[in-house]
A and B are shown apart, each in its own frame.
Chain A
Amino acid sequence: MNILSLSGFIPEQICDTIRFFGYEGQQRISHYCRYASDYISQILEDPEIDGAVFPRTCDSSRTIASYLEECGKFVYPFHIPARQDRAAVSFLADSIRRYKTAVEQHYGTGLTDIPERTSLVNERNRKFRRLYARLPELSYSAYLDMLHGILRKPLREQRVPDDLPPCPCPGGPKVFIAGSTQTGSGIVRQIEAASLHIVGDRLPESHRLFSAPEVPLEGDIFENIALSMLSAMPSPSQDDFSRILREDRKELLRRQVQGVIFITQKYCEPYDYLFPAYREMLDGLGIKSLRITVSGSQSENEMALAVETFADML
């Protein structure tokens, strides 16, 4: 079973999936998120991958199924509620049950270790949180590489290190990374090379992932998983910009951030809509911001130049 999952919205407690972070594929779709089109490419082209599970949380991801209709692999679009109330928790819990059943039926296997997996996710996230708390003293690029490497592995093989290399520029201006999932650490290396000190983030594969509360093992495990998922820091695709702005404001002040680098994929509309409100919040706090759009018109050299200019501003 090699299911490629598109985002942190896919509950890891149910079964192992391979978390997608990037692939250089053949699919090129106009006005479409490159991250999503590369995901489609890998499903279609990679013989090792036999399944796809993805959330319907943005306009690119809600049309993925159309491109995979004839691939012959396990294809499961996952509806993540756009709300966080009681009815949404119940609905999501039912959806998780249905996902489990669909995997069991397709692969002819029984998924019986959900409580054990839940404990492992809880424990791993505790370790992630401890590392994140120490982020100002650690190399952010090493931290991001560590996260990407671990999340690609089966849960039982995920080993979170106790330590990471130190921050290469501890005296530099303090910056915070916001935006969508990163396909690698290339941009953050450029940021570190510009002597900027990355002290925190709100990336889906990092702070947002382990902001989900621990899942209790007692009671209905599906309800507990659903409640934890919907209690995590919301993605802009979950339609609560007010909460994102409120929580991030606190985090930025707590970490004494001087600049925010907002990195998104081109055609990633949830973040495109969040950005104007986010920038206004930053302006109100007197925090400078830089926006970088990946897979867009900016080349790597242009991005490096933009980061250097931003560093000079700070």
Chain B
Amino acid sequence: MAQLYLQLQAKLMREYYRDFSKYAKGRLPEKKAAWVTAFTPVEILEALDMEYIYPESYAAVIAASGKEQDLLRESEKGGLCRDCCAYSGCYNGALSAGTAPRGLPPRPDVLIATNNQCNTLPGWWNLLAQEYDVPLIVLDYPGEGADREQAFSYVTAQHRELIARMEELSGNRLDDGRLERLIQNSRDSVAAWKKVVGLLPEKDIEPTVLFDGISYLITSRCKPETAEFYTAMYEYYAASPEADRGRKPVFWLGYPLWYHPQRYLKELLPDYRVSGSNYVTWWSLDYDGDGPMEQLFTAYNYTFLNLSAKTKRERLQGCIEKSGAKAAVSLRNKSCKCDFVSARYIELPQVELEIDMIDREYLDMGRAGERMDILREIL
């Protein structure tokens, strides 16, 4: 089982990084490449046989390799403020420096950004568009606050326009049947991933496994191998020993710390186990609806960060209840203003830590340790 799980993981990684300069070694990509944000309707791009690259994910990889500080300084020299999302600082720094652990991604033929997770990303993409003389497409998702019918008509007009423009760019015609199959793949990936996430409160599993494992739901969600990979992953971890009930279950509310070997502050939590995390549920998109257009609309207009404050709070509450957590570590992330606001309404003992998911110098470990001590006393 372990072998199958690792083989599938290696295959997905190999495919994703194939055209990065370290592996391409001068070979040009065979497909047109889009640089996309993490909640882009990539089923459309996949159906048109395009390649899509996720700069945010790559910034996380760079930080995990310990290379982010030089690159953050590099982008700052270019005028990008250190207050900006560190994903952008890290990635743009790599582009300026011309170096990164897996090399540089293939040059984009198109830049596609969405505002269904935050408004920072379209700004970052606008800046990238000044560097590369390629089309910039910003997909506007009004979210739960808008009237559903109006939003459906508005978003669908944009999806149809995206299809037309990408058909022209790629030279391929969209096959409706293929798009439907790819959406089904995404659904299957989400379903298989949810089962993996369900293991965290029950089994002796490091959350690191999930923080790293979710990257395939981001980069490869509509590929058929992804559901297969998550199924193998589930079967592998389902055989793990039961969780140690002697350690208090705690909810990790916010991003993984990509620079940290365990992606969370394990050293500050010796008597706790992380039994849940909201981050690992963000890409569990709901492709509900009649036909591909409505399914894509539902999935991408109603992403977690595009929901109303009330719905977000209810979802988060549900997530915490499922985890069985008795306390929460809430992260105030310098790079993301959108992810921690719901924590205000959680009725659990919680500690707030000031962090950045990429920039390790932002965390004051001494202060974080003191806060954890306070939480321990409360409990």
Chain A residues with a Cβ under 8 A of chain B: 30-32, 56-60, 62-63, 65-67, 69, 77, 79, 81-83, 87-88, 90-91, 94-95, 98, 236-237, 239-242, 245, 266-267, 269-270, 272-277, 279-280, 293
Contacts and interface: CB of A to CB of B under 8 A. Distances in A.
A273 B127 contact: yes
Contact of A88 (B122, B154, B309): B154
A284 B306 CA distance: 39
B134 to A, nearest CB: 12
Contacts of A269: 83-85, 119-120, 123
Interface in B119-159: 119-120, 122-127, 129-130, 136, 138, 140, 142-143, 145-147, 150-151, 153-154, 157-158
Given A269-B120, A270-B119, A270-B123, A83 B138 contact: yes
B337 A59 contact: yes
Contacts of B261: none
A308 B113 CA distance: 40
A82 B140 contact: yes
Given A241-B127, A269-B84, A277-B126, 4 more contacts: A31-B334, A62-B118, A63-B341, A272-B84
Contacts of A277: 126-127, 130
Contacts of B334: 30-31
30 contacts: A30-B354, A63-B337, A66-B309, A66-B312, A67-B341, A79-B146, A83-B138, A83-B158, A87-B153, A87-B158, A90-B153, A90-B154, A91-B153, A94-B147, A95-B146, A236-B126, A237-B119, A239-B123, A239-B125, A239-B136, A242-B136, A269-B83, A269-B84, A269-B119, A270-B119, A273-B124, A275-B80, A275-B81, A279-B79, A280-B130
A90 B150 CA distance: 9
Contacts of A276: 78-80, 127
B25 interface: no
Nearest to B84: A272
B240 interface: no
Interface string B304-331: 0000111011000000000000000000
Contacts of B309: 63, 65-66, 69
Given A83-B138, A276-B127, A31 B338 contact: no
Contacts of B154: 81, 87-88, 90-91
Interface of B: 78-81, 83-85, 88, 113, 115, 118-120, 122-127, 129-130, 136, 138, 140, 142-143, 145-147, 150-151, 153-154, 157-158, 308-310, 312-313, 332-338, 341-342, 344-345, 354
A10 B120 CA distance: 21
A66 B332 CA distance: 15
Nearest to B312: A66
Contact of B308 (A65, A95, A272): A65
B44 to A, nearest CB: 17
B204 to A, nearest CB: 34
A32 B179 CA distance: 40
Contact of B147 (A31, A32, A98): A98
A139 B203 CA distance: 70
Which of A266, A267, A269 gathers most chain B CB within 10 Å?
A269
Contacts of A274: 123, 126-127
Nearest to B309: A66
Nearest to B345: A69
B126 A275 contact: no
B156 to A, nearest CB: 9
A244 to B, nearest CB: 9
A272 B83 contact: yes
Given A63-B338, A275-B81, A91 B142 contact: yes
A22 B345 CA distance: 27
Nearest to B125: A239
Contact of A272 (B78, B81, B143): B81
Contacts of B124: 273
Nearest to A78: B145
B78 A69 contact: no
B338 A59 contact: yes
Given A66-B342, A87-B154, A242 B337 contact: no
B83 A82 contact: no
Nearest to B342: A66
A310 B176 CA distance: 59
A93 B374 CA distance: 51
Contact of A275 (B79, B88, B345, B354): B79
A87 B150 CA distance: 10
Which of B79, B80, B332, B336 gathers most chain A CB within 10 Å?
B79
A221 to B, nearest CB: 18
